[in-house]
Amino acid sequence: MEPQPRSQFQPAGAGALLAGTTAAGVGVGALLGWAVGSTGIGALAGAVAGIPAGVFVVYRRYRGYFT
């Protein structure tokens, strides 16, 4: 049996995943803020929630690379 090939770390893919998740958080926050009456505050809250969510998604995707 041959050992499993090690997964490749792709910085551009990790950045796109981080940016996409953060943008999705900002978008959802802006929509919720718009529904309540303050789009700007909703977008800010979405960014505050989206950045850690993006970091978590990138970590889950590339967790095997760092071991």
Mean pLDDT of the chain: 90
* Rounded mean pLDDT, 33-61: 95
What local confidence, expressed as pLDDT, does residue 2 receive? 72
Domain that holds residue 40: 11-61
**Whether residue 34 has pLDDT greater than 80:** yes
How many structural domains does the chain have? 1
Structural domain contains residue 35: yes
What local confidence, expressed as pLDDT, does residue 3 receive? 66
Structural domain contains residue 2: no
- Split at pLDDT 50, 70, 90, the class of 54 is very high
Structural domain contains residue 27: yes
Structural domain contains residue 4: no
Structural domain contains residue 26: yes
> What are the b/e assignments for 16-55, b being 16+ CB within 10 Å?
ebbeebbeebbebbbebbeeeeeeeebbebbeeebeeebe
What local confidence, expressed as pLDDT, does residue 64 receive? 82
What local confidence, expressed as pLDDT, does residue 56 receive? 96
